[in-house]
Amino acid sequence: MKTLLEKYDLSGRELRNHFVMAPMTRARRPDNVPNEETAVYYRQRASAGLIISEGLPVSPEAQGYIAVPGIWTDEQVAGWTIVTDAVHEAGGTMFAQLWHVGRISHTSLQPNGQSPVSSSAKPIANPKFQAFIYKEDGSEGRVDPSAPRSLETDEVARVTSDFRHAARNASSAGFDGVELHAANNYLFEQFLNPVMNDRTDRYGGSVENRARFALETIDAVVEELGADRVGIRLSPHNQDDTAQNGWIEETYNYLADELAKRRIAYIHLNDSRIGGNPSLDDAFLKSFGAHFPGTIILAGAMTFERGEQLVQSGLIDLPAFGQPFIANPDLVERYRDDVVVAKPDRDTFYGGGSKGYTDYPRAVHDDV
């Protein structure tokens, strides 16, 4: 028996296997509302033990990319209900990833053309982090983010409230739980990183202060849904402005300790694969697991072989696969039956229609 095909208990919820479909932005909804085709896309992949949705902006301010369905309006809730119903009918489990990009945005995406918000007014320095917008000529494309403004101290609670409201909406839409996106240089990480965060209030300076926003938001969402329906995504070693990276171990160990006290469903780690090699190696995973004894998910250029090895060694509990699920809606079945895995068409990752979205063929058709 292949370990990844065995069932898994996620905080009292039985997953049909150890496969996690990682969150992936596909930018297919110009009106920001999921529809029947969104439902088809996720239903096709419902043999995964757990699907984590693409990042869902929690408010208009939270957006950094065009055509991404959100979770702040009744219309969006109705659209996501179609999706979760389809996944559940296929026997799947689905969490919503709740998202605020912070400074990785553009004034053209912001309400009234305002500046994006962040932990500070520092512009982003790394060219790999860009917003995805409609340009002046009407074409879609990536651009450098606009200069941000620093959130006022009393505004931070307002953003936490946006996440609480989004979590309530996600529950109403039928999601089995939610994941806070605190990775990949987005808003929570902009507070965690002391090189980005130059605040002198209760949200800046010490590790306790820099982690306060994330933990206050976790607490609000746990209060709304229960700890067993809440996860968080983190990405140590994947930030901008990391020249002074001695803070990483202290910060993420502190977060792990605090999240363990809250007994949340899981921590989802994203491996940035620096130079093609794991940035979260076995030594890191062993150390991190000592601070968080709950479920650990790992994503980042995941392979079947590495997933099996890490699960069998006890370093992680669930491997997450991203791009392989794009071209292989039946990825789990292909693994079970040793069928060749298809490669996705990168040109259709973002934007467009059904091509490269819902038209990838299955190699097998029976259920796991």
The answer to whether residue 252 is catalytic is: no
Please say whether the beta carbons of 55 and 180 come within 8 A. Answer: no
User: Quick one: three-class SS letters along 135-198?
Assistant: CCCCCEEEECCCCCEECCHHHHHHHHHHHHHHHHHHHHCCCCEEEEEECCCCHHHHHHCCCCCC
User: Quick one: three-class SS letters along 196-242?
Assistant: CCCCCCCCCCCHHHHCHHHHHHHHHHHHHHCHHHEEEEECCCCCCCC
Q: The tokens 């079970």 sit on which residue? A: 336
User: How far apart, in Å, are the Cα atoms of 109 and each of 146, 150, 161, 242?
Assistant: 10, 18, 21, 27
Q: Helices (DSSP H) in 21-73: which residue ranges?
A: 36-44
How does DSSP assign 296-308, residue by residue? Answer: EEEESS--HHHHH
Strand 230-234 vs strand 177-182: parallel, antiparallel, or unpaired? parallel
CA 291 to CA 132: how far, in whole Å? Answer: 36
Phi-psi map region of 288: left, alpha, beta (phi>0 left; psi -120 to 50 alpha): alpha
CA 83 to CA 42: how far, in whole Å? Answer: 7
Radius of gyration of the chain (CA): 19
Which residue is catalytic, options 41, 65, 186, 360? Answer: 186
CA 206 to CA 354: how far, in whole Å? Answer: 48
Beta strands in 240-316 (DSSP E): 266-270, 295-299
CA 95 to CA 84: how far, in whole Å? Answer: 9
The first and second tokens of residue 275, run together, are 């130079």
Catalytic machinery residues: 186
